[in-house]
Amino acid sequence: MSEDVLKKVISHAKEYGFIFQSSEIYDGLSATYDYGQNGIALKNNIKEYWWKSMVQLHENIVGIDAAIFMHPTTWKASGHVDAFNDPLIDNKDSKKRYRADVLVEDYCAKIETKIDKEVEKAAKRFGDSFDKEMFLKTNPRVLEYQKEIETALSRLAKSLTDNDLEDVKKLIEELGIADPISGSRNWTDVRQFNLMFGTKLGSTADTATDLYLRPETAQGIFVNFLNVQRTGRMKIPFGIAQIGKAFRNEIVARQFIFRMREFEQMELQFFVAPNTEMEFYEKWKQTRLQWHLNLGMGEENYRFHDHEKLAHYANAAADIEFNFPFGFKELEGIHSRTDFDLKQHQEFSGKKLQYFDSERNESYIPYVVETSIGLDRMFLALLSKGLKEEQLPDGTERTVLKITPALAPVKAAILPLIKKDGLPEIAEKIFDDLKLDFLVEYDEKDSIGKRYRRHDAIGTPFCITIDHDTLADDSVTIRERDSMEQKRVKITEIHSIMSKEVSMTSLLKNLL
Ligand code: ATP
């Protein structure tokens, strides 16, 4: 069923110019995608929402745009050369490759579905008197399932932290995990695989320098920490935000744009005084959750997942997970990165990366709280939750993309009812009036019903129809996407209605 939803999202994304496979005429390149005409508009709107919520709404956050190429020592200092690995395992029969940790996590997710089923059954049996929390705490079968999950995940966390790959394999065997495709349990040993893409800088082979494509945008912020702090006269606590491409040679890149080899991140590094990081970590967890909830996709579709296994740089970490068509998965990470990165860069570069705190009257290396969200995953969240198939009262069906109007690719469609009698001229005038402030589309082809459907499918919040009455009363019909209600309004009112309903300002206001 959920696979069906994902399939629909993928074909809809292609049919309506959101996402194409990269180099499709050459049969594509795996896990690489291109954004089409509507895709880029939606993507830019997500970026604007994120960027303004960070940089414009916080006086102590500024933005930068660092290069993708960085000095190769950056990645030694950050730990990526030595530790940016995924444990991989191959199935000897199917020859398919998997991430060993993901196999265990998927196994646990299946047990969690069993728990959900028990809850569902009990809710039916007990009716109104059902107490879910109590049930989860006391039902023996549920408790057993929970224990199974906990045991598996904590053992995985321990063996990965100890780099005990033999034990990871043993765990997979003991849990009886089979290849999801072939059902075979014939596994190779687990090996570590570095995820960074290498490339070369320089014209001749012997003088060329080995470079990496950045696997995260964060390091571009860290190496510029002092540049920004000094030139911007920033006082701690303050943040640096960045949106940019990152590259990872993912072992298994599946699930459409959820896991790509080239993707975009929106990251904030927030610099704080030592020993204050936990307070800011908690604060950013809440701030980021509010940013998501403001999009109206339903509180029940988000949850925090606190990490058991912490990355080498972190002293606390949580994911905001979203209910994708294939279940709850990481959408955003919030990490307390300690002073690890700046300390490492100070050591490897030999340059002091310290901040003088005039209130404390001391110099220190700041601590960092990071929020890091994948732009493409956010895109997938919006597309997969927003896409609805609806039965209409007249027996027909429509496919509609219900996303918050401020993020919709096209804000309004301007539709002359027919192509003559002066209607196109009025429509063009309305189009010219709106285009300075909003991305609008003029569309005169096909019946009005077909044009409505086309715009429902790309999530256009308003369709503005110009008909013969317009000639007499200077009014148009505005149809709202979700309710399909139609209202007659004066041409002179259109701009202010749009400003109220579809502007980024109205979305941002709720965050204050
Ligand atoms: P995962 O566990 O899913 O591999 P991660 O924990 O490695 O993700 P981070 O390093 O925390 O991810 O990166 C921050 C964010 O960047 C993630 O929350 C995700 O939204 C996004 N991201 C990471 N890898 C990819 C990818 N291959 N494709 C698309 N987005 C990604």
Summarize pLDDT for 87-125 with one digit per residue, the tens.
999 999 999 989 999 999 999 999 999 999 999 999 998
Distance 375 CA to ligand 1 centre (A): 10
Cβ–Cβ under 8 Å, residues 414 and 443: yes
Which of 336, 341, 377 is the pocket-test mutation for ligand 1 (most atoms within 8 Å of CB)?
A: 377
Q: Indicate whether residue 86 lines ligand 1 (CB < 6 A).
A: no
**Number of the ligand 1 atom closest to the C-alpha atom of 260:** 28
Distance 424 CA to ligand 1 centre (A): 47
Q: Which residues are CB-contacts of 298 (< 8 A; sequence separation ≥ 6)?
A: 385
Q: Indicate whether residue 243 lines ligand 1 (CB < 6 A).
A: no
Q: Indicate whether residue 238 lines ligand 1 (CB < 6 A).
A: no
Distance 58 CA to ligand 1 centre (A): 25
* pLDDT of 276: 96
Q: Indicate whether residue 215 lines ligand 1 (CB < 6 A).
A: no
Residue 398 β-bridge partners = 390
* pLDDT of 69: 95
Averaged over 460-479, what is the pLDDT? 95
**Number of the ligand 1 atom closest to the C-alpha atom of 250:** 27
Q: Strand locations in 248-325, DSSP E? A: 262-272, 302-306, 316-324
Quick one: tokens of 7? Answer: 């399939």
Q: Indicate whether residue 373 lines ligand 1 (CB < 6 A).
A: yes
Quickly state the pLDDT bin for 2 (edges 50, 70, 90): low
Distance 374 CA to ligand 1 centre (A): 6
Q: Which of 181-190, 310-319, 367-376 has the lowest mean pLDDT?
A: 310-319
Averaged over 231-239, what is the pLDDT? 96
Which of 217, 269, 284, 330 is the pocket-test mutation for ligand 1 (most atoms within 8 Å of CB)?
A: 330
- Percentage of the chain with pLDDT > 70? 99
Distance 503 CA to ligand 1 centre (A): 30
Averaged over 222-226, what is the pLDDT? 97
> Atom 6 (ligand 1): residue with closest C-alpha?
333
* pLDDT of 148: 94
247 has pLDDT over 70:
yes
Distance 215 CA to ligand 1 centre (A): 10
297 has pLDDT over 80:
yes
**Number of the ligand 1 atom closest to the C-alpha atom of 261:** 27
Q: Indicate whether residue 466 lines ligand 1 (CB < 6 A).
A: no
Arithmetic mean of pLDDT over the chain: 94
For residues 420 and 224, which has the higher predicted lDDT (pLDDT)?
224
> Atom 29 (ligand 1): residue with closest C-alpha?
259
Q: Indicate whether residue 374 lines ligand 1 (CB < 6 A).
A: yes
How far from each other are the two terminal CA atoms of the chain, in whole angstroms? 39
Q: Indicate whether residue 288 lines ligand 1 (CB < 6 A).
A: no
**Number of the ligand 1 atom closest to the C-alpha atom of 248:** 27
3 state SS of 155: helix
Distance CA 50, CA 354 (A): 29
Q: Indicate whether residue 260 lines ligand 1 (CB < 6 A).
A: yes
Q: Which residues are CB-contacts of 452 (< 8 A; sequence separation ≥ 6)?
A: 463, 479
Can you give the pTM of this predicted structure? 0.88
Residue count of the chain, please give it.
Answer: 512
> Atom 10 (ligand 1): residue with closest C-alpha?
216
Cβ–Cβ under 8 Å, residues 313 and 338: yes
Q: Residue with structure tokens 């990152």?
A: 246
**Number of the ligand 1 atom closest to the C-alpha atom of 267:** 14
Distance 85 CA to ligand 1 centre (A): 13
Distance CA 273, CA 360 (A): 10
Phi, psi of 110 (to 5 degrees): -65, -40
Residue 413 β-bridge partners = 441, 463
Averaged over 239-258, what is the pLDDT? 92
Q: Indicate whether residue 250 lines ligand 1 (CB < 6 A).
A: yes
Distance CA 184, CA 94 (A): 8
* pLDDT of 447: 92
Quickly state the pLDDT bin for 467 (edges 50, 70, 90): very high
Question: In this structure, which amino acid lies at residue 323?
Answer: N
Quickly state the pLDDT bin for 382 (edges 50, 70, 90): very high
> Atom 31 (ligand 1): residue with closest C-alpha?
374
Evaluate the CA torsion angle 308, 314, 318, 323 in order and state its sign.
negative
Q: Strand locations in 447-491, DSSP E? A: 462-466, 475-480, 486-490
Distance 33 CA to ligand 1 centre (A): 16
Q: In what order do the strands lie in the sheet with 462-466?
A: 440-442, 412-416, 462-466, 475-480, 486-490
Distance 379 CA to ligand 1 centre (A): 14
**Number of the ligand 1 atom closest to the C-alpha atom of 329:** 3
